[in-house]
Structure 1
């Protein structure tokens, strides 16, 4: 185990075997940290958090020579809010902010310049790329891929294996860099398993995308779209609207 002398550790903190805590890390009270966890410099972990085995917190991003969305810059520390749970073998980058009560499943990756709102669930094996904003009470299920420069508003549901994209030029021409943009998913929208959302697409509030759909154009609010390419099927049933759900807090 290695704990930097400049680290600040609260009361009733449980540390597993082989934990590494670097310079200027701050850990609040009643935190539980599993075995083989690495906490990089300056990371802030608020009270009541649980960190699973073999996880890395506050990782600096590596920049590939051909990367178009990763910048070389000074990043703010990783911040975990109160009562955040991080599963085993996750990598959470420096420059991310996870607000109170966020839950992250095993094997997930969350990049720099990402903000995740309260009570959101990031499922097992999910990847959230850089410069992405995710609201509160969102659920993103197993192995979904959230590309860089995406926005997901509050109360959205993203099913397993959903894929977001942000490059209509598929890596060709320098011109493409002017147009990078991930999807924007408005409040309460839902996306079915294995759907693919093309770059820059906006899914309207409370809209529903069927499983396996390929969304090539903007989707209006409260509409159901299905197929390849996705086309309008019908309105979202009234009883399914977010405003009619018992868990909705407004």
Structure 2
């Protein structure tokens, strides 16, 4: 590990009090990446820790008080807000944002133009297709009841899906493109529509290319290294006040 403070200060010379950054070995970081960006929320600070083998592309911003495992990879202009815990071998592609206070497992793939609201949980092997939007507040802009969905292991969310607050997407479920999900989705089921309704078991779907088992629970096993389950956040997340942003 080495300290990235000098580099962060060089990128943002007008900002004082930047958090320390611990970066694992083997990282590849483009120019224009900002690490340890300070939170605008009162009382939120701490080091940013990123594991080995990170690949961070230009425009990536990772805030203070973030913990990320090994093999993290970003596209251009992706943002990780403060107080997030992210596992190993995750990807966050172009123009996507993980808002603060989320817990994300291992081998999670987040595609382009995705927004993940505060206090959302993504378990291991989850896949979010381009354009997924996750909400967390049933009474916008109330700060007392913010809670994003819980997406269980191996669930796959299709393009341009909207997930409303407080719901649970079951293990290995599949949400069809363009759906608006307003309630819980049972494990292993396909849902689609607005509002999304159960279509049937995922296992009953036929592949137009004739592939019988292309993935193991949504993960390409040809490129799946070993992993361990991500632990919960090591400290409480700072809940927003009326003055927080």
TM tier relative to shorter chain: 0.7 to 0.9
In structure 1, the residue matched to 2:21 is 43
2:153 aligns with 187
The Cα shift of 1:116 comes to: 1.2
CA separation of 1:246 and 1:148: change in aligned 2, threshold 3 A:
closer
Partners of 1:162 and 1:139 in 2: how far apart?
12
Post-superposition offset of 1:75: 2.1
Q: Which runs of 5+ in 2 are unaligned?
A: 205-212, 228-245
Q: 1:207 to 1:169 in 2, by over 3 A?
A: same
Distance 2:199 2:215 in 1: 16
* Secondary structure class of the residue paired with 1:242: coil
What is the TM-score of this pair, normalised by structure 2? Answer: 0.79
CA shift, 1:115, in A, is 1.1
Within 5 Å, give how 1:103-182 maps onto structure 2: 103-171=73-141, 176-182=142-148
Contact 1:141 1:160 in 2 (8 A): yes
Shift in CA distance, 84/246, structure 1 to aligned 2, threshold 3 Å? closer
1:62–1:224 distance in 2 versus 1, CA, 3 Å: same
Larger Cα-atom Rg: 1
Q: CA deviation at 1:46?
A: 1.4
Verify: 1:55 aligned to 2:25, yes or no: no
> Is residue 242 from structure 1 mapped to residue 220 from structure 2 by the alignment?
no
- Contact 1:84–1:98 (Cα < 8 Å) also in 2: no
Measured in 2, the distance between the counterparts of 1:244 and 1:56 equals 32
Q: How far does residue 76 in structure 1 lie from its aligned partner after superposition? A: 2.0
The number of aligned residues is 211
If asked which structure has higher relative contact order (CA below 8 Å, sep 6+), I would say 2
Change (3 A) 1:62 1:229: same
User: Is the 1:37–1:52 contact (alpha carbons within 8 Å) kept by the matching residues of 2?
Assistant: no
Structure 1 residue 89, shift from structure 2 partner: 1.1
2:65 equivalent in structure 1: 95
Consecutive unaligned residues of structure 1, counting only runs of 5 or more, are 1-6, 11-18, 23-35, 64-71
The answer to whether the 8 Å contact 1:112/1:130 transfers is: yes
The DSSP-based 3-state class of the residue aligned with 2:195 is coil
**Structure 2 CA distance for aligned equivalents of residues 153 and 244 of structure 1:** 12
| Cα separation, 2, equivalents of 1:246 and 1:190 | 13
Distance 1:207 1:45 in 2: 35
Task: Answer yes or no: is the 8 Å Cα contact 1:144–1:161 preserved in 2.
Answer: yes
- Helix, strand or coil for the counterpart of 2:143? helix
For 2:23 and 2:220, how far apart are their aligned partners in 1?
32
